C-alpha cells in the first residue's frame, strides 16, 4: 500500500492507484514512491510535461484515457516485440548529460549525480509519472504473457523489464534526494 502525503492532488493518487492494480514487485513500488517524493518536493506543481519525442505510443493512449480517471481500461502495447528497444530510446533521450555508460553501453547505476536534471525534473500529470506508467504497462504484459508465450519468453522479457525498473528506480530516487536536499 502506497502512502500519499495529505496534500497530494487527486490526479496523483488516482494515477498511482491505477498503476498498482496489478502488483509488480517491490522495485516497481519503489519507482512509484520516488515519483510521489518528486511530486511532493515540487509542491505538486504541474510542469510542462516530458518531451513526447520517442515516447511510447502506450503513454499517448494512457493520456487520452485520462490517466485512469476517464477509462479504467489498461492500455495495451501493440508492438510488444520492439517495445523494450523503443522504450530504451525514449529513456535514453531523457537522461541528464552527466549520466555515464559502462563498458557494455548500459547506464551506470550509482555514483555521483550532477545538478542539472534536464527534462527529467518534470513534475505534474505529464511528468515522471509517465515513465512509471510506461514501465507498468510493459511489466503487466510481461507477466500476463508468461502462461501463453512460455517460460523462455517470460524470462527474457522479465530480465529486460527488471533492468529498466532498476535504472528508473535509481534515477528517480536520486532525483528525489536531490530535490529535497
pTM above 0.75, yes or no: yes
CB atoms within 10 A of CB 4: 14
Residue 125 covered by a domain? yes
Residue 4 covered by a domain? no
Residue 143 covered by a domain? yes
Q: What is the pLDDT of residue 33?
A: 97
Q: What is the pLDDT of residue 34?
A: 97
Residue 173 covered by a domain? yes
Residue 9 covered by a domain? no
For 29, the domain range is 20-100+118-180
Tell me: the pLDDT tens digits for 45-95? 988 899 999 999 999 999 888 887 777 788 999 999 999 999 999 999 999
Q: What is the pLDDT of residue 48?
A: 86
**Residue that wins the pLDDT comparison between 180 and 70:** 180
Q: Kindly compute the dihedral angle of the four CA atoms of residues 37, 43, 46, 47, in this order, to the nearest 10 degrees.
A: -70
Q: How many domains does the chain have?
A: 1
What's the grid cell of residue 150?
A: 512460455
d(CA 80, CA 93): 20
Amino acid at each position: 500500500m502506497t502512502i500519499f502525503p495529505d496534500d497530494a492532488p487527486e490526479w496523483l493518487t488516482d494515477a498511482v492507484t491505477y498503476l498498482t492494480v496489478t502488483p509488480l514487485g517491490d522495485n516497481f513500488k519503489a519507482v512509484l514512491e520516488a515519483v510521489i517524493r518528486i511530486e511532493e518536493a515540487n509542491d505538486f506543481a504541474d510542469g510542462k510535461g516530458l518531451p513526447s519525442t520517442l515516447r511510447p505510443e502506450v503513454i499517448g493512449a494512457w493520456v487520452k484515457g485520462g490517466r485512469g480517471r476517464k477509462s479504467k481500461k489498461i492500455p495495451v502495447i501493440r508492438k510488444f516485440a520492439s517495445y523494450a528497444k523503443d522504450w530504451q530510446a525514449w529513456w535514453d533521450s531523457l537522461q541528464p548529460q552527466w549520466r555515464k555508460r559502462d563498458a557494455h553501453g548500459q547506464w551506470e547505476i550509482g555514483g555521483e549525480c550532477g545538478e542539472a536534471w534536464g527534462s527529467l525534473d518534470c513534475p505534474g500529470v505529464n511528468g515522471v509519472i509517465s515513465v512509471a506508467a510506461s514501465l507498468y504497462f510493459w511489466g503487466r504484459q510481461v507477466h500476463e504473457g508468461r502462461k501463453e508465450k512460455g517460460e523462455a519468453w517470460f524470462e527474457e522479457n522479465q530480465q529486460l523489464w527488471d533492468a529498466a525498473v532498476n535504472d528508473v528506480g535509481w534515477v528517480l530516487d536520486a532525483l528525489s534526494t536531490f530535490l529535497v536536499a
